[in-house]
Structure 1
């Protein structure tokens, strides 16, 4: 099966979706979200301490970028600093992160990934990888790449729609 995706079509050239296609896509996304809510929790249940899914959101940038203030983590996660502060406190209590004074501003703290946090990320990656390998066992590389690109595009478009002023909706039947 060959599927061609028009990734680079300008918005003016885009054809409006039919209501049936739009509804089918929305139903598929909703089902995927329902499934996705349970997958990470199943995967992280085996990690000592029960790393919460939001913990993953905070630990990955610490691993990738090093120590950060809560405000930087909040900006990355797209949530209020108070939300991140509570989550960081829980991660610190469980030993996944370490806190130290910011040498440039004694009023602030830098949050860093602890060895236990790094181990939890690695274990979670292993569990998620095993789950994805089993789930995609019957997929070929081309289909997986195509879906990856489309999911990335959908995520970007959904994010843009959520943060942009509302536009008039065009619908075709």
Structure 2
């Protein structure tokens, strides 16, 4: 079991990882800011879904999700179709253009990382990737939960999120 001291050091290091993520995000083209790429990634990874499900995946308020979806639709990157099970709802999915935009943004992020990690071996990058995935799995579902939820430790609070992270 990891000691509290080692975990404190890890917590400090994780703040740096957030900064690295911001730096990669700043290198993305202006038409694909990190929040937009996050929506594209969710649709690319999970496929067609309702907006409410997308908001859940992104862990953001439905009104914020709606603005992101409008942004994507204005640019012609997604398709909105009627849900056969509920005609009031729309299903969202990437179209071919959206898939290309997502691929270009992912390629740009990989280029930025490659430039900064030019003295890293592939094995080191794979090791870090594997450890980050293990960390994610250790935390499970990190989406906000209401206070009183049995999955939230006593004394912890998770206010609802109203913006993209």
- Relative to the length of structure 1, the TM-score reads 0.71
Q: Distance in 2 between matches of 1:16 and 1:24?
A: 10
CA deviation after TM superposition for structure 1 residue 159, in Å: 5.4
2:138 is the counterpart of 1:142: no
Match of 1:171 in 2: none
Question: Equivalents in 2 of 1:29, 1:159: separation in Å?
Answer: 17
How far 1:160 sits from its partner (Å)?
Answer: 5.8
Paired residues, number: 149
| 1:95-137 superposed Cα distances (whole Å, 9 cap, x missing partner) | 2222222233211111121333122111112211212222222
Q: Secondary structure at the match of 2:52?
A: helix
Q: Say yes or no: does 1:85 pair with 2:66.
A: yes
Q: Could you say which structure has the larger radius of gyration?
A: 1
Which residue matches 1:133? Answer: 114
**Offset, 1:88:** 0.6
Aligned residue number for residue 153 of structure 2: 166
- TM-score if structure 2 supplies the norm length? 0.74
The CA RMSD over aligned residues, in Å, is: 2.6
3-state SS, counterpart of residue 43 of structure 1: coil
Partner Cα separation in structure 2 for residue 160 and residue 107 of structure 1: 29
Q: Distance in 1 between matches of 2:8 and 2:2?
A: 16
Cα distance in 2, alignment partners of residues 98 and 40 from structure 1: 25
Q: How far apart, CA to CA, are the structure 1 residues paired with 2:45 and 2:140?
A: 23
